[in-house]
């Protein structure tokens, strides 16, 4: 009798967008202070994470499109097979009707 909470589907993780403007960015090379390397390292890690996410999303989209194309192709093949079998059934049906008509005509001619 107690209601059971059903958790909602979690949204897919997405990285933060890159900053519009980054001030005083020094690389890990000479001239950077001891604290600047850590700032650089975090920015670099975040950018690599963002790029990996974009690559993964592009791959997922490509696979989805490929799957949709495959579904369409399979659907078209199935429709062609169905149409072919339908034509065959219709042909047999017409053949039976024609044979029935011919038999009736023969009986009429005999009488």
Across 21-45, average pLDDT: 72
70 three-class SS: helix
What tokens does 109 get? 């001619």
Percent of the chain with pLDDT over 70: 90
For residue 44, is it within any domain? Answer: yes
For residue 21, is it within any domain? Answer: no
For residue 30, is it within any domain? Answer: no
Residues 92 and 99: their CA atoms lie apart, in Å, by 10
CB under 8 Å to 36, separation ≥6 — which residues? 26
For residue 49, is it within any domain? Answer: yes
Q: What is the pLDDT of residues 66-97, one digit of tens each?
A: 999 999 999 999 999 999 999 999 999 999 99
Q: Looking at residue 111, what is its pLDDT?
A: 79
Tally of domains in the chain: 1
For residue 76, is it within any domain? Answer: yes
For residue 75, is it within any domain? Answer: yes
User: Does the structure show a pLDDT above 60 at 106?
Assistant: yes
For residue 6, is it within any domain? Answer: no
| 65 Rama class: left (phi>0) / alpha (psi -120 to 50) / beta | alpha
Residue numbers of the domain that contains 79: 40-110
């Amino acid at each position: 009798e107690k209601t059971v909470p059903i958790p909602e589907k979690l949204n897919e993780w997405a990285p933060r967008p890159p900053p519009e403007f980054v001030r005083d960015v020094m690389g890990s090379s000479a001239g950077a202070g001891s604290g600047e390397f850590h700032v650089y390292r975090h920015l670099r890690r975040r950018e690599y994470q963002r790029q990996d996410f974009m690559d993964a999303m592009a791959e997922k989209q490509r696979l989805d499109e490929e799957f949709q194309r495959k579904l369409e192709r399979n659907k078209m093949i199935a429709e062609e097979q169905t149409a072919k079998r339908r034509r065959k059934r219709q042909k047999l049906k017409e053949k039976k009707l024609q044979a029935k008509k011919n038999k009736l005509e023969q009986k009429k001619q005999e009488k």
